[in-house]
Amino acid sequence: MDYIKQLIERYPVLTDSEKNIRQVCDILIKCYESGGKLLICGNGGSCADAEHIAGELMKGFLKKRPLSEEKKAEMISVVPELEGIDLAMLQQGLPTFTLNSGAALTTAFANDCDPELIYAQQVLAMGRNGDVFLGISTSGNAKNVFAAAAVAKSLGINTVALSGRDGGRLKEICDVSIIVNEDETFKIQELHLPVYHAICATVEEYFFKE
């Protein structure tokens, strides 16, 4: 199913972003195929969007994603105690990490070092060549998101921006930018949600057929 085509039909205002949305899907598919992971961050509503995206990718979104019988048997062969656990309840996930979730780390680093680098520090520690970084900022100018994108790019990580208005500084540094055609923050966020839902659905369908 072409979820991007459906997205544009439902939200014609996103027509100019279609090419970049499809490109981001391709980048994520290549990342996951090579064993990479997605690192995401944002502030405020964009922080909530980062968590939302991780929720759609780390478990079933539109697909069930069951473990294969072979995988379950392999797991039980290593840990026989799993025989008593309903492994059918587990779902296959696509590795995705939100950089805003570690309260102890982020508050310690903000207090001891520099609050504008709380996301950059985590990218430096966890990011590897072949991963993807997604920075969400409605203005494209969030300093902590920009710093994380800059560090990611320096490490050879593919960088993606999800933004609005003119894309701000993120557009200048990221490999691909999805800039929705709105200026007000809440309207930008209203368009971000269907965009990343379509991306998650597209990537999920590629890896999971059931």
Q: Please, what is the average pLDDT of the chain? A: 97
Q: How confident is the model at residue 152 (pLDDT cuts 50, 70, 90)?
A: very high
**Mean pLDDT, rounded, for 189-208:** 98
Q: What is the pLDDT of residues 31-47, one digit of tens each?
A: 999 999 999 999 999 99
Q: Does the pLDDT value for residue 177 go beyond 90?
A: yes
Q: What's the full length of the chain, in residues?
A: 210
3-state secondary structure of 179: strand
Q: Does the pLDDT value for residue 102 go beyond 90?
A: no
Q: Does the pLDDT value for residue 174 go beyond 70?
A: yes
C-alpha neighbours within 13 Å on the C-beta side of residue 86: 2
Q: How confident is the model at residue 210 (pLDDT cuts 50, 70, 90)?
A: low
3-state secondary structure of 160: strand
Handedness of CA 107, 108, 109, 114 (dihedral sign): positive
Encode 116-145: b = buried (16+ Cβ within 10 Å), e = exposed: ebbbbbbbeeebeebbbbbbbbbbbbbebb
Task: Looking at the structure, give the CATH architecture of the domain made up of residues 3-66+92-207.
Answer: 3-Layer(aba) Sandwich (3.40)
3-state secondary structure of 176: strand
**Mean pLDDT, rounded, for 111-120:** 96
**% of the chain residues with pLDDT over 70:** 100
List all residues 6 or more positions away from 119 whose beta carbon is below 8 Å from its beta carbon. 41, 99, 100, 144, 145, 147, 148
**Mean pLDDT, rounded, for 99-106:** 90
Q: CA 45, CA 42: separation in Å to the nearest integer? A: 8
Hey, how many other C-beta atoms are within 10 angstroms of the C-beta on 90? Answer: 16
Q: What is the CA radius of gyration of the chain?
A: 18
pLDDT in the model for residue 70: 96
Q: CA 176, CA 203: separation in Å to the nearest integer? A: 17
pLDDT in the model for residue 209: 82
Q: Does the pLDDT value for residue 77 go beyond 70?
A: yes
**Mean pLDDT, rounded, for 80-88:** 94
The domain locations on the chain are 3-66+92-207
